[in-house]
Amino acid sequence: MNTTGWICCQPLPANFPMDSPFGKFLSLGYYDGTTSGVSECSNCSSLFRYKLVAWDSGQDMRIYSIASLPPSSFESIVKLLTAVEEPRWPFWRPKLSPLTGSEMSSLGAAIDAELSNAKLPTHVVAAEHLDKRILAGRELSATGLGMLPKDHYPGFADWDFWRTYLALDQLEGRRGDSSESVD
């Protein structure tokens, strides 16, 4: 699939995979891998909110939406979480277990308020490890925006739509080619 567009300062290639442009991650959701959070571009330091859109039946291949986030929101989230735990970059998944239920609710509300400053998602990307390689990516069309999860936890239900949207079947064909590894 020939894709066009840019994720911050990184052009989407005509042929995937590509090295991940993201070098710093603050994982706010986790289930056998990150499901949501904030990432920073290694090259231009642009900040993005990422959210799980769908995953395959093995939960290995994951599709994420990517939305621009203001630097002030990222800084505020880091400040909120630093009160609980020291950051560990390049991949920080804060352990919030020492917090009480009411403290978790207050912290969650404050983080959600900052994340609400993100713009609408502009891209979706497929990856097994978002911090390593982007296996496929595309700018979001109106149809794609309409398929983003609203009030439910995403998962396998919309996998077929997203697999077709990102032409992942073409990727599967390339994965079998020993001259081009995607791992």
Two structure tokens written together for 107? 């912290």
Segment 116-142 mean pLDDT: 93
Alpha-carbon distance 20 to 126, whole Å? Answer: 11
**Is residue 1 situated within a structural domain?**
no
Rg for the chain (alpha carbons), in Å? 16
58-71 pLDDT tens trace: 889 999 999 999 99
Alpha-carbon 37 to chain mean position: 7
pLDDT at 125 over 80: yes
**Closest CA relative to residue 116, chosen from 77, 90, 64, 160:** 77
Assigned domain for 115 exists: yes
What pLDDT, in 10s, does the model give residues 91-100?
Answer: 999 998 888 8
Q: Domains in the chain: how many in total?
A: 1
Q: Is residue 73 part of a domain?
A: yes
Cis peptide before 90 (omega within 30 of 0): yes
- For residue 171, name the pLDDT band (cuts at 50, 70, 90): low
Cα 95 from chain centroid (whole Å): 19
Rounded to two decimals, what is the model's pTM? Answer: 0.86
Residue 181 counted as domain residue: no
Query: Residue 112 is part of which domain span?
Result: 6-173
